[in-house]
Structure 1
C-alpha cells in the first residue's frame, strides 16, 4: 500500500529504511528529544536494532494493532507516521504519532501525511475515531492538528513517558463524521 499526493508519499516502513531512518534521527536528535517517547523505569525495553523495530511493528501490523509508515518527499525519507493502539469491536479507534526531519518542517508535509493515514484508517480499516496526544508546548504538532480540524477532547496529566519523564498531553480526536467530502487531504490542501 502506498498513499501519494503530489510530491508527498506515505508507505509501510521496511527494513531497508534503516540507513535513512538512522540518519534522520541522528541529524535531528536535539530537535526531536523533547517530544520523543522514552521507556519508563521498569518498562519493556525498546528494540535494540532498527531491524528488530521493523519486525516488531510488522508483527503488530499483521495483528492489526499498529501500522508504521514512512513519509517521503520527492522520494526522499522525511519522517514517520504510525497508527498505534488500533482497537476494533465497539470502539473502532486508534491513536496516531508522527515525527519529521526538520528539513521538511513547516512545509505542510506532516499535516498532509497524517491526513492520508487517517483517511486510509477510516476508508480501508473501518475505524471510527483517531486520537492524537500532544505535549502542550509542542507548537509544531499543535499546528498539525489545527490544519486537520481535530477537536480538543481533553487534557491528560502525566499521559506519556516522553524525554525521560511522565508528561502532560492535550488530547485531540477526529471521527469519521468530522471528515469533509474528499477526505482530510482535501481539508489540509484546501
Structure 2
C-alpha cells in the first residue's frame, strides 16, 4: 500500500468509485458524488489543519480507500480526527492503509493523538480501529450529522506512544 494526497486530478476515478460503492458507505459516511462537491471537498483538504490521503495499491496505483485527518489542533493538544472510507472490502487494504495514515500523522505531521468517531452499528469500522490499537473512550449521542440525521457515535483514540512511535515534538508544542 502507498499513500498520496487527494488531488483535483483524481476527480473522475474518485467519483466513479463513490458511485460504485454507495451501498458500502451508506449510512456511515457521505462522500462527494458530483464534480462540484468533489472540488469543494478537495479545497477543504488543502487547508493547513486538514489532510486527505488516498490509500492506493503500490503495484498499480489503484485507489482502494481514503483517509482524512481533520480538525488538526496544535499547541498543547496536537490532535487530529480520523475518518476513512473503503472502496473495496475484505482484503485487509484498509488495515494496512490506515496503519500507514497513523504513522504519517505521528511521524510527519507530528501529532500526539488521533481520534475517531464511529457509529455503533458500523461493525467493520469498529473492528478496524480495534485492530489498529485504538482504545474506546466513550459514547456520544447525536454527535455528527450524517445522511440527513444526527447520529450516535462511539469515540475512539490512539496516541503515538500507544503505537510505540517516537516522533519529534511539533514546534507549536509548548516547552512546559
> Do these two structures clear the TM 0.5 threshold for a shared fold by scoring above it?
yes
Distance 1:156 1:111 in 2: 25
Match of 2:12 among 1, 15, 19: 19
Name the SS for the 1:160 alignment partner: strand
| Paired residues of 2:53 and 2:68 also in contact (CA < 8 A) | yes
What are the Cα deviations for residues 25-54 of structure 1, in whole angstroms up to 9, with x where unaligned?
Answer: 00111221211248xxxxxxx993422321
Task: Give CA-to-partner distance per residue, 1:123-167, whole Å, 9 cap, x none.
Answer: 121211100111001011011111101100011110111121000
Q: Match for residue 29 of structure 1?
A: 22
Q: Distance in 2 between matches of 1:111 and 1:132?
A: 14
Match of 1:82 in 2: 68
Match of 1:56 in 2: 44
Structure 1: gaps of 5 or more residues: 1-7, 39-45, 184-190
Number of residue-to-residue matches in the alignment: 163
Quick check: 2:160–2:166 contact (8 Å CA) kept in 1? no
- The answer for the alignment partner of 2:108 in structure 1 is 124
TM value normalised by structure 1: 0.80
Structure 2: state its 5+ residue gaps.
Answer: 168-176
Q: 2:11·2:35 contact (CA, 8 Å) conserved in 1? A: no
* 1:48 counterpart SS class: helix
Match of 1:164 among 148, 151, 159: 148
Q: Is the 8 A contact 1:37 1:160 kept in 2?
A: no
Cα deviation for residue 23 of structure 1 reads 0.5
Contact map agreement 2:15 2:35 (CA 8 A) in 1: no
- Pick from 127, 142, 162: which aligns with 1:143? 127
- TM-align CA RMSD: 2.1
Alpha-carbon offset, residue 178 of structure 1: 0.1
In structure 2, what is the Cα distance between the partners aligned to 1:20 and 1:120?
24
1:91 to 61, 77, 101: 77
Q: TM-score, normalised by structure 2?
A: 0.86
Distance in 2 of aligned mates of 1:136 and 1:119: 26
